[in-house]
Amino acid sequence: MAFNLQQDHGEEEADQMADINIVPLVDVMLVLLIIFMVTAPLSIGGISVTLPSSKARSSSLDEDRVVLSINQKGQYFIEKMEVKSTALESRLRAIYAVREKKDLYIRADKKVIYEKVVDAMSAAKVSGVGKISMLTEPPKKL
């Protein structure tokens, strides 16, 4: 008889443990979602570049992307690391050798010498990049 009492007590605990409260989990997930939504646009920044404006609709950036920035001085940056112009082609070749998606986004300052942009595009094509996109800002409304 004592055995039955313990067994009944164990079933009551099992019934209580079956009800999982997911409200705290949802709260944490919503906070994380908001944090990622706020910080995602800031992740491609870091290199001071004044983008030219364009009336064309811009494409959205993929999460798995490679961004090549060219500042006003003509220095190259892949993500936030500076790359010398002599090593640009080899660095891009190493990156795209292991990537399935062969897209490159170029953020070039509007005052950069055009030759620097052409050199970057040439190095990208030789390195195996399939698609090159130029990042711009939407035109300012007056």
Is the domain of 18 the same as that of 86? no
d(CA 63, CA 29): 19
Sheet holding 67-70, edge to edge: 81-83, 76-78, 67-70, 103-108, 131-134
User: Is residue 140 domain-resident?
Assistant: no
DSSP E strands, 49-130 = 67-70, 76-78, 81-83, 103-108
Is the domain of 37 the same as that of 87? no
pLDDT band at 47 (very low <50, low <70, confident <90, very high): low
Residue 62 sits in a domain whose CATH number is 3.30.420.270
Q: What confidence tens digit (pLDDT) does each residue in 66-120 have?
A: 889 998 889 999 888 889 989 999 999 998 888 888 889 998 888 888 899 999 9
Q: Which residues contact 137 (CB under 8 A, 6 or more apart)?
A: 51, 52, 53, 54
Q: Where in the sequence is the domain holding 36, given as residue range(s)?
A: 2-41
More confidently predicted of 139 and 63: 139
More confidently predicted of 81 and 43: 81
Is the domain of 122 the same as that of 56? yes
pTM to 2 decimals? 0.60
Q: What is the tally of structural domains in the chain?
A: 2
Predicted local confidence at residue 5, as pLDDT: 45
Task: Show the DSSP H helices in 74-113 as ranges.
Answer: 88-97
pLDDT band at 4 (very low <50, low <70, confident <90, very high): very low
Is the domain of 9 the same as that of 62? no
Q: What confidence tens digit (pLDDT) does each residue in 14-30 have?
A: 555 666 788 888 899 99
